[in-house]
Amino acid sequence: MEIFKSFGIQPVFLLAQIVNFLIILYLLKRFFYKPIVKILEDRKKKIEESLKNADLIEERLQKTEEKNAQILAEAQNSARILIADAKREAENINQQTNLEARKTIEAALVEAKVQIEAQKVSMQKQLEHETLNLVEAVVKRVLGRSLKINERRQLTNKALSDIGRKI
């Protein structure tokens, strides 16, 4: 063991160094590797989770976008239908209004015609009466006598037909 002596090997020193290293080993394991390995693992887990979540979010986003597009298309479709309906309705209303207006106009026209006709008849009658009176007055002055019933009717009829022709 001469070699050990020349290297200065002594059990006390050996033991001191062994104990020293064991203390280091314990303390480092407890206060250094354990928390750091734990936090590294935690972070790894978190990152993995985040990536998974990101995938999920992307998927959901895509779905939402698809849904959005679908809703938009549906809305456009229903709007188109609505507009078409409205147009049709408007046309209907228009037509009906036109029809009614025409009817009203026609009715008014008929009424006007009837009135005109009535007026015409009354005017004819008045005219006839006045004419007869006039003719009678003229005949009385010229012939010095009244018209006979027969002549009166004849005159009247002639005048009427003349007037009717003129009107």
Judged by DSSP in three states, 107 sits in: helix
Judged by DSSP in three states, 91 sits in: helix
Tell me the CA distances in angstroms from 140 to 5, 34, 47, 74, 132, one per residue in order. 190, 152, 134, 97, 12
Shortest distance, position 58 Cβ to other proteins, whole Å: 24
Nearer to other proteins, 50 or 78 (CB): 50
- Tell whether the torsion through CA atoms of 43, 44, 49 and 55 is positive or negative: positive
Binder to other proteins among 18, 56, 93, 101 (CB under 8 A)? 18
Binder to other proteins among 2, 14, 71, 90 (CB under 8 A)? 14
Binder to other proteins among 21, 76, 92, 146 (CB under 8 A)? 21
Stretch that binds other proteins, among 5-13, 116-124, 128-136, 146-154 (CB under 8 A): 5-13
With a CB cutoff of 8 Å and minimum separation 6, the contacts of 136 are: 146, 147, 152
Judged by the rule CB under 8 A, the positions of this chain that interact with other proteins are: 6-10, 12-18, 20-25, 27-29, 31-37, 39-40, 42-43, 46
